Amino acid sequence: MSQVASLLIALPLISAFFVPVLKQIRKSLIFPYLVIITLIQTGIAGWVFYEVYTTGKPILIYAGGWKPPVGINLYIGHFAALFALVIAIVSFLTALFSFKAINVEPVDKYAMLFLLLMLGATGMIATGDIFNLFVFMEITAITAYALTAYNKTGEAAEASMKYIVLGGIGSSFFLVGVALLYGATGTLNMAQLAEFASEGNIAPVVAQVGLALVIFGLAVEAELFPLNAWAPDAYQAAPHPITAMFSAFVVKAGLYAMARILYLLQDAQGWSSVLKLLLIMATLTVIFAELSALRQKDVKRMIAYSSIGQIGLIALAFSLGTEAGVSAGVFHMLNHAIVKALMFLAIGYVGVTLGGTRLENFEGLGKKMPLTAFALSVGAVSTVGVPLFNVFWSKFRIIVATLQAGHVWPAALVLFASVVEAVYYFRLLHLIWFSGEGERVRESWFVVFLIILALLIIAIGVYPTPAWEIAKRAGSDIFAVANYIKNVPLIRLG
């Protein structure tokens, strides 16, 4: 029965392949089709989530019926179950939004790429094999390149070009890293690699070089400094719904993959120096992103920088090497996915309605589109980390975990960056509510979903315990490697 969970992969695939056929039948059916497929995906992901969290056991999918390490297995543990659900829900929301936001042809190609972006991210978080991870990463990355340039403007082409070059180099680094690890161990299965590492069977120099290559390769997808120069351009140039997907789960999949591989090899020698590398990259990411956001004139670009800053915070939590840090990082991932999905959807909605996302367009938004403005404000206040909003709790936990791990400087720098963040967010809020004049603009049914997301943010903020419990279980899925190895039944070879 549990093998049915492989539909998480099979459904988006087969539905993406069906789009060319559907286009010949009737073109106007494409967007409703997209909504229905993402809704079914949400249903499957919801069922998987329920199964995993009630039984407490991960769902293992054996592709082709081959047991690992001979075949490829998917490992849907607490983390993957949670994020498969997040991915599906965000995809559903963005599919609804696509009705309004996408009027550039060809919409059939858009629908295919959209479904495959969702598929790639789901595969990345579910796989239990590092080469398979590479394949899913390529699926995610190449759809992202194509979707970034989808609007076919000059700046979109430029952004996509930057992304494709950096992403290509990153992927090759990753592949070289995988080759090194395979050469040293003879296996590609994550559980078996972890076993090799814990028995001390990987030569320290190989583990270190291989791990550093993998981290560097993934850093492009995970938007870590200095490999994130493509991100603000891509966020700004991509179609609005796609930006929401980038921020809510594409970058998260990269971050998760990084954390997963990092913690699998935690017993390898030289591990702590790789952690230090990641710690430095993460702290610099936060500082640079927040300082850059301060001077932006375009709101979408500003939020893009803010998103990168938050991602740096998650990476910081993952680079601490403690269970508290990893759990806090996962909690922040969840909160950030909700908040940034809301922010980018709301900003995109304003952009579509008022024509553009320049700062001037947001003047007097509180009078023009009060409901959207309300949702946007909740998102903004939450990102800054004000108590009684969800991000406060995860930011707080990350900083406490950082201090506990003994890193005073990174904690101080990150706190400073939060102050910077508060400055530009409150400037935006001032613009929305206290300046400018405007006529009331009719807001469509889509606002309902924005309000629901905003209420969710407040609900988690007021009552964080359930969400925190979920995040803690998902976090220990990444951290407790011994458990992970135990859960994957490896065939003994030779």
Partner 1 sequence: MMLKRILAIFMILIIGFWLAKGLSGIPFGADKMLVGKYYLEHVKDQTGAINAVTAVVVNYRGFDTLGEVTVLFIASTGVAALLWRKRRERTAKMEGSVVLTTGSKLLFPFIMIFGMYIFIHGHLTPGGGFPGGATIATAFLLMYLAFIVYEIPHKGFEVTEGLAGMSYVLVGLIGLVIGGYFLFDWIWQTWKLGTIGKLISGGFIPVIYTIIGIKVATELSGIVDNMLKEEVKE
Q: Which residues bind partner 1 (CB under 8 A)?
A: 3-4, 6, 9-10, 13-14, 16-21, 23-24, 61-66, 69-72, 105-106, 109-110, 112-113, 116, 119, 123, 131-132, 135-136, 138-139, 142-143, 145-146, 149-150, 152, 176, 180, 183-188, 203-206, 208-210, 213, 493-494
DSSP annotation of 60: E
Q: Are 144 and 113 in contact (CB under 8 A)?
A: no
For partner 1, the closer CB: 176 or 371:
176
For partner 1, the closer CB: 241 or 309:
241
For partner 1, the closer CB: 23 or 162:
23
In the complex, minimum distance from the CB of residue 18 to partner 1, in angstroms, rounded to a whole number: 6
What is the phi-psi region of residue 175: left when phi exceeds 0, alpha when psi lies from -120 to 50, beta otherwise?
A: alpha
Query: Which is it for the CA torsion 163, 331, 40, 1, positive or negative?
Result: positive
In the complex, minimum distance from the CB of residue 110 to partner 1, in angstroms, rounded to a whole number: 7
For partner 1, the closer CB: 62 or 416:
62
Q: Are 214 and 176 in contact (CB under 8 A)?
A: no
What is the phi-psi region of residue 202: left when phi exceeds 0, alpha when psi lies from -120 to 50, beta otherwise?
A: beta
For partner 1, the closer CB: 171 or 476:
171
Question: What angle (nearest 5°) sits at the alpha carbon of residue 199, between those of residues 195 and 200?
Answer: 115
For partner 1, the closer CB: 87 or 341:
87
SS (H, E, C) 301-368: HHHHHHHHHHHHHHHHHHCCCCHHHHHHHHHHHHHHHHHHHHHHHHHHHHHHHHCCCEHHHHCCHHHH
Give the burial class of 432: count Cβ atoms within 10 A of its Cβ; 0-12 exposed, 13-18 middle, 19 or more buried.
Answer: buried
Owner of token pair 């592709």: 63
CA atoms within 13 A on the CB side of 16: 20
Find the helix or strand (DSSP H, E) in which 138 lies. Answer: helix 130-148
In the complex, minimum distance from the CB of residue 168 to partner 1, in angstroms, rounded to a whole number: 13
For partner 1, the closer CB: 13 or 400:
13
For partner 1, the closer CB: 141 or 244:
141
In the complex, minimum distance from the CB of residue 43 to partner 1, in angstroms, rounded to a whole number: 17
Contacts of 1 (CB under 8 A, 6+ apart): none
Q: Are 49 and 85 in contact (CB under 8 A)?
A: yes
Query: Which is it for the CA torsion 351, 252, 337, 402, positive or negative?
Result: negative
In the complex, minimum distance from the CB of residue 153 to partner 1, in angstroms, rounded to a whole number: 11
- Cβ-based neighbour number of residue 388 at 10 Å: 13
In the complex, minimum distance from the CB of residue 104 to partner 1, in angstroms, rounded to a whole number: 9
Residue type (1 letter), 455: L
DSSP annotation of 120: H
For partner 1, the closer CB: 212 or 375:
212
Residue (of 255, 234, 3, 10) closest to 115 by Cα position: 10
The SS3 assignment for 436 reads: coil
In the complex, minimum distance from the CB of residue 162 to partner 1, in angstroms, rounded to a whole number: 15
For partner 1, the closer CB: 97 or 134:
134
Q: How far is CA 15 from the centre of its chain?
A: 23
In the complex, minimum distance from the CB of residue 117 to partner 1, in angstroms, rounded to a whole number: 9
In the complex, minimum distance from the CB of residue 378 to partner 1, in angstroms, rounded to a whole number: 35
In the complex, minimum distance from the CB of residue 16 to partner 1, in angstroms, rounded to a whole number: 8
